Structure 1
Amino acid sequence: MHDIVHELTIEAPPEAVFTAITTADGLASWWTTDATADPELGGTATFGFDDGATRLTMRIDAIDAPELVHWNCTGGPEEWVGTSVAFRIEPSPGGGTVVRFWHGGWEYADGALPRCSFDWAMHLDSLRAYLQTGTGRPHQAAS
């Protein structure tokens, strides 16, 4: 199995980062405007892309405020289903928050994985922008 790993520092408190990753409003501010979330253990979050042509469903397998969020992909493109996503959120010694991101369980190193790694890097930078400036760059859902 293959993994995507990213790490970034955000000049915001861990609680704000956690809220941005776990709530529908937070997720819609940096990942995709077509987002729903039931931020509790066993809850689900859904994300729409490409005018609804692509829809991801994530089951929340672990949630520990403000330190950890772990999702398992239960619906979406074939290569995504069965993969897991985790956000580890830690106070940075120099201030702000360190986010350690992992998206694991990819069967193949080619196919969707390289594109998803790039997309995650862009979306995580959008998360940072949202928390530091108030304006993220989420994927825009059809209106």
Structure 2
Amino acid sequence: MSYNIYHNLIIKVSSKAVFDAVSLPEHLNNWWTLKSSGIPELHSEYNLNFTDAYNWFCKVSEVKKNKSFYLKMTNSDKDWNPTTFGFDLEAKESSTLVKFSHVNWKEDNHEFRNSSFCWAMLLNDLKNYLEKGTIVPFDERN
């Protein structure tokens, strides 16, 4: 059995703007990571650095420009390692429906539940970043 996290939200920008914000390091660093690297191409490796103790790696497992972007964890926290997270984007008239998922957790434990809460907060930061240009300093992010 595996456990999954799902969140949907509307962001009032184009699907290209959302795609760039979830796949390009210069944007990831503005709402999620301390510093990151990677190229949104299939099987490309990403480095997601939060601190020296949380310096994680993953690979692009699915990418469709302006439509979807998924990363499979390869070297991270033991609870995150078997997981894949990503974004499906549906362009609307003047906004984008973001369907977020983080799947294949082995346990419904503290880290799973904490990560679900943190993703909800971070996705709100993503929304505010894209709609209002708000950048929360890294040390103030949840």
Note whether the superposition's TM-score is higher than 0.5.
yes
Does residue 126 of the first structure (1) align with residue 125 of the second (2)?
Answer: yes
Q: Secondary structure at the match of 2:30?
A: helix
Partner of 2:44: 43
Partner of 2:83: 83
Deviations, residues 84-134 of structure 1 (Å, cap 9, x unaligned): 1120011135x2001000000001111310000011111111110110011
Does residue 105 of the first structure (1) align with residue 104 of the second (2)?
Answer: yes
Supply the RMSD in Å over aligned alpha carbons: 1.3
Distance 1:28 1:55 in 2: 14
Structure 1 length-normalised TM: 0.91
CA contact (8 A) 1:10 1:132 kept: yes
CA contact (8 A) 1:48 1:55 kept: yes
Structure 2 length-normalised TM: 0.92
Deviations, residues 39-87 of structure 1 (Å, cap 9, x unaligned): 11111111122x3211221100111010000110001110100101120
Q: Secondary structure at the match of 1:90?
A: strand
Q: Which runs of 5+ in 2 are unaligned?
A: none
Partner of 1:58: 58
Partner of 1:19: 20
Runs of 4+ in 1 over 3 A off after TM superposition: none
Aligned length: 138
Distance 1:22 1:33 in 2: 15
Structure possessing the higher relative contact order (Cα contacts under 8 Å, 6 or more residues apart): 1
CA contact (8 A) 1:31 1:137 kept: no
Counterparts of 1:24-35 in structure 2, within 5 Å, are 24-35=25-36
CA contact (8 A) 1:10 1:128 kept: yes
